[in-house]
Every structure is written in C-alpha cells, then in structure tokens.
Amino acid sequence: METTEGGRTAEAGAAPAGGAPVIRTQGLTKRFGGGQLAVDGLDLTVPRGSVFGFLGPNGSGKTTTIRMLMGLIAPTSGVATVLGESMPQATSLVLPRVGALIEGPALYGYLSGRDNLARFDAADPTADPRTRKARVGAALERVGLSAAAGKKARAYSLGMKQRLGLAAALLQPRELLVLDEPTNGLDPQGMREIRALVREVAAEGTTVFLSSHLLDEIEQVCTHAAVMSKGRLLVQGTVAELAARAQGRLVVRTPAVAKAAEVLREHGVTDVRPAEGRVDGALEAAGDELLPGLCAALVAAGVPVHGFGVERGTLEDAFVALTGEGFDVAG
C-alpha cells in the first residue's frame, strides 16, 4: 500500500486485477465563496468491488467530496472520474448506474413511503414501468419498511426516512452505491441491519462508497478506507493496513503494578500507565525485538508476571495518531 500523509497524495488502494478504479480523483479541490477551502487537492482511488469507508469528523470535507463525485457541484480545480467517466461532464451517463443517499433523503411528506419510491422509480429513464410495483415492494422489504409502506413520509422517524432513502438507492441493481452517513438516526438494531444490508449488496458485486464519522461502522463493514481531516486526505488503504499503522502497546498483567511500571521506565518504555492489575506502555522506544529482554528484566526484579504481550493498535488509534483528534467510535 502507498499512503497519503501530511496532505501529500498517493496511488493507494489500487484496483484489484480485472477492473479500473470505480472512483478516482486527482487534485480535486473545492473552494466556496469567501475563500473557504472545503476540499484541498484530493487524490482518491476506490477499487472496484470494495466497500470503501470515507472517514472523518463532521466538517472534514466528506459530503462536499461526494457532491462533486455525483455532479451536484463543480470542483474549483482537479479531476474526478466515476465509473470511468469525468464528472460533472458525464452526469447523464454515470448517475443511472449509481445508487446514492446523500445528506438524507429528499422525500415528499404528503406521499406514502411506497408512493415516494414509485416517484423515484418513475424518474429513472432506465426503469421498466411494468415491473415498478414489484421493484418498489422488494426495496421496501429489503430495508424493513413493508409494514410502514402506506404511512405518509412526514410521519416517518429520522431512522425510517434513512431506510426509505436507502430503499430508493436500491430500487435497481447498481454498479456503485454511494452512502453519506447511512446509519444516521438509527437505533443500534437498525444500524446492524443496515450494515448487514451493505455487506449483502457488496457480495452481489456492487462497489459501496460509504462516508461515516463512526469508526465502528468502518471497521465492521469496510474493506478499504480513507481518512479526511480539514479538507485534506491523510491516508488511504485497506482497513487492516490502516489499523496496523497504529503503534501497539506493551501490556503487563501483574499484582505488582508499581514495581512493574518502574522496571519498564528504567528500560526505555514510555507513556507508562499503571492500572488495576496491569500496566501498559508505548513501544516507540522499545521495539518488538526488545520484548524478551523486558520480560526477563521484570522477572529478575521479582515482578510476578501473569501476562505479557502487545495489544496491537486499532483504527481509532491510527486516526488519533494521524490527526491528533478524538473520534466517535460508538455505533
């Protein structure tokens, strides 16, 4: 994997053999009136067949990027290609091949959920009106809204509206599914169901591009990810590779916490944190090759070692190391 750090871009996450990237941007930039730089020189590569997590806190430029990819707004500079076509120039060619849920669904409040989907389907020039009823029914069933299909959309909860928007994106098989915060407003069970649905859609061969501020969401469903912060791409690659970037921590389980902490500090372990029945420390100054010596030093000092090992970093650790910011993990 090649990664992007400190605002520099790279050809990360190259497409698997057998297909060009589904999304590729080069120097993509968006500056709004007043000089606000929302997206700054973005080089992004989304492999075909991936579930790609677009990760970053609110305000990091995720939604602006998605709007440029979908041709909703034009970039100030740079290039975006989606399904091999330049955007926004090829919007009419690309969008029929894409299902999207961006910034929440735009619904007709006075229509039922079923009638909303029928309207969306009728607006698709590729949709066969003879099979519309079956297609709408299948989409409602897929997102768990069959029982509420006759209710007016204005009576839907936020989570139900999200489900209906996702159903609209799934009315027909698509090559690419673009989801902007798809679990927004859902309870934990609803989140699990949507994640399962994303996996199912991906298993059918659709590339999924999913933006989220929830690390848990990215780790559970995505194969690849990119991290945005303040409009710039920090890193991209497989989820496993990104998590592996985080520095692991040495963990010693012992009743002699104070003594163990003293020994670790004496042997170059930094950021030593004593806790109940354990002590852990950063490995920057004491690499894996020093672990046997550290364990021996603890034993020689009379520390009863009940457990000794390295807890590898998570995607959350990697994000904090890259940005210096905390992050929403729940989901």
CATH number at 288 reads: 3.30.70.100
Q: What is the pLDDT of residue 94?
A: 93
287 contact partners, CB below 8 Å, separation of at least 6: none
Q: Are residues 265 and 224 in the same domain?
A: no
Task: Judge whether 64 and 36 are in contact, CB under 8 Å.
Answer: no
Nearest by Cα to 251 from 313, 320, 300, 302:
313
Q: What is the pLDDT at residue 326?
A: 52
Q: Which of 32, 26, 39, 31 is nearest to 231 (CA)?
A: 39
Residue 18 falls within a domain, yes or no? no
In a domain, 7, yes or no: no
Same-domain check for residues 215 and 130 = yes
Kind and range of the H or E run holding 308 = strand 307-311
pLDDT of residue 317: 64
Beta bridge partners of 124: none
pLDDT at 8: 33
Same domain, 163 and 301: no
Q: What does the alpha-carbon distance between residue 113 and residue 167 come to, in Å, rounded to a whole number?
A: 10
Rounded-to-integer distance, Cα 79 and Cα 197, Å: 31
SS3 label, residue 44? strand
The residue among 186, 214, 218, 224 whose CA lies nearest residue 48 is 224
Q: Enumerate residue ranges in the chain where pLDDT < 70.
A: 1-18, 244-248, 284-288, 312-331
pLDDT tens digits, 21-69: 999 999 999 999 888 899 999 999 999 999 999 988 778 899 999 999 9
- Strand, coil or helix: 119: helix
What is the rounded CA–CA span in Å between residue 249 and residue 271?
10
Say if residue 230 is in the same domain as residue 256.
no
Cα–Cα distances in angstroms (integers) from residue 279 to residues 100, 222, 269, 296, in the given order? 47, 33, 11, 16
Mean of per-residue pLDDT scores for the chain: 84
Residue 331 lies in a domain: no
Let me know whether 264 and 185 are in one domain. no
What distance in Å separates the CA atoms of residue 95 and residue 217, rounded to the nearest whole number? 26
Q: Are 177 and 206 a contacting pair, CB within 8 Å?
A: yes
| pLDDT score for 212 | 84
By residue range, what is the domain housing residue 231?
Answer: 23-243
Task: Return the structure tokens found at 294.
Answer: 């550290």
Asked whether residue 271 falls in the same domain as residue 301, the answer is yes
Q: Are residues 119 and 192 in the same domain?
A: yes
pLDDT at 7: 36
Number of domains in the chain: 2
Q: Tell me which residue of 305, 307, 304, 295 sits closest to 264, measured CA to CA.
A: 295
Pick the closest to residue 14 from 35, 43, 56 (CA basis).
Answer: 43
Domain stops at, among 243, 260, 286? 243
Rounded Cα gap, residues 45 and 2, in angstroms: 11
Whole-number CA gyration radius for the chain: 24
Q: What was the pLDDT predicted at 320?
A: 63
Cα–Cα distances in angstroms (integers) from residue 215 to residues 12, 26, 212, 225, in the given order? 20, 26, 8, 10
pTM of the model: 0.74
CA distance 325 to 214: 14
pLDDT at 235: 87
Residues 292 and 145 grouped into a single domain:
no
pLDDT of 5 reads 38
CA 45: distance to chain centroid?
14
**Co-location of 125 and 260 in the same domain:** no
